[in-house]
């Protein structure tokens, strides 16, 4: 199964991606995670991406498509993959179609996790992540069991720099201008699935699995 998760920043793409990738036994590919790993390691790609991420802008397409192409050519993507946070612009979606076409593949479904802006703002401002293992929490909706340390590795959870108030607003504007048009792009191809992202995490997972014909 070749799947794409669409949705505003904070819609719950990463949360669902981790669960779905495990259930469907396909790799979870998050461009945001790849950028953050590069920033942490101080690579050239990381330095370039950081400039854009810090100000709530999208990283330019020419940088982003290259890393996705490399990742999709790895052997673990042969039997499917789950893209989380890519594509985020129409040119990225066209590029993806092209790359997959050359590999005799195509996207099966694009799943839009629909969440209104007021809920998004609460989700992003309450999001906390484990800097060691990357698990995502929410201070109200999904807190770590012991308050502020990761359930898995007991590291203190932190707020992402781009989850600060000023940057959240900019990311939402970028979403509406550049990413939202992808909903129609996949609708026109007959590949769009829409789920109500304001429901409980488990309920959203089962709706997605039902919609893609699993279980
Ligand atoms: P979120 O989970 O809040 O949607 P991500 O972790 O997916 O955020 O991405 C963090 C940041 O990385 C984005 O705000 C953007 O600057 C950059 N980024 C991630 N994926 C892409 C992409 N496909 N195109 C351009 N920029 C991207
Ligand atoms: P994205 O990857 O789309 O940016 P995340 O998966 O990181 O979104 O989720 C954003 C925040 O919202 C996190 O703090 C997460 O714990 C929380 N969250 C995710 N899904 C739900 C949900 N269905 N209900 C309530 N909170 C959620
Ligand atoms: Zn951890």
* Burial label, 42 (beta-carbon count in 10 A; 0-12, 13-18, 19+): exposed
Q: Which atom of ligand 2 is nearest to the CA of 129?
A: 14
**What local confidence, expressed as pLDDT, does residue 131 receive?**
93
CA of 213 to the centre of ligand 3 (A): 33
CATH architecture of 2-27+74-116+175-211: 3-Layer(aba) Sandwich (3.40)
Distances (CA, A) of 167 to 38, 54, 130: 20, 8, 20
Q: Is 137 in the pocket of ligand 2 (CB under 6 A)?
A: yes
Q: What is the pLDDT of residues 52-90, one digit of tens each?
A: 999 999 999 999 999 999 999 999 999 999 999 999 999
| Cα distance between residue 61 and residue 99, in whole Å | 14
Nearest residue to 3 via CA among 137, 195, 201: 195
Alpha carbon nearest to ligand 2 atom 19, residue: 12
pLDDT value for 215: 78
| Three state DSSP letters for 77-108 | HCCCEEEECCCCCHHHHHHHHHHHHHCCCCCC
What are the residue boundaries of the structural domains of the chain, listed by start?
2-27+74-116+175-211
160 catalytic residue (yes or no): yes
Point out the ligand nearest to the CA of residue 131. Answer: 3
Mean pLDDT by 10 residues, the chain (215 residues): 98 97 98 96 97 97 96 95 98 98 95 97 96 94 95 96 94 98 98 98 98 93
What separation in Å is there between the alpha carbon of 144 and the centre of ligand 2? Answer: 14
> What residue's CA is closest to ligand 2, atom 5?
12
Pocket of ligand 1 (CB under 6 A): 9-10, 14, 30-32, 35, 52-53, 58-59, 64, 85-88, 92, 162, 171
């Amino acid at each position: 199964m070749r799947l794409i998760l669409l949705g505003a920043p904070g819609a719950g793409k990463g949360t669902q991606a981790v669960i779905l990738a495990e259930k469907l036994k396909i790799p979870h590919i998050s461009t945001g995670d790849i950028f953050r790993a590069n920033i942490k390691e101080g690579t050239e790609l990381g330095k370039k991406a950081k400039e854009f991420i810090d100000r709530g802008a999208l990283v330019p397409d020419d940088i982003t498509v290259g890393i996705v192409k490399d990742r999709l050519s790895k052997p673990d993507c042969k039997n499917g993959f789950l893209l989380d946070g890519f594509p985020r612009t129409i040119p990225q979606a066209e590029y993806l179609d092209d790359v997959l076409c050359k590999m005799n593949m195509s996207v099966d479904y694009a799943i839009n996790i629909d969440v209104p802006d007021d809920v998004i703002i609460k989700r992003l401002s309450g999001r906390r992540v484990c800097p060691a293992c990357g698990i995502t929490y929410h201070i109200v909706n999904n807190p770590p069991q012991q308050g502020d340390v990761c359930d898995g590795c007991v590291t203190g959870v932190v707020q992402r720099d781009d989850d600060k108030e000023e940057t959240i607003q900019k990311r939402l504007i970028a979403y509406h201008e550049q990413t939202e048009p992808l909903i129609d792009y996949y609708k026109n191809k007959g590949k769009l699935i829409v789920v109500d992202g304001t429901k409980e995490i488990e309920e959203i997972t089962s709706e997605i699995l039902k919609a893609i014909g699993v279980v």
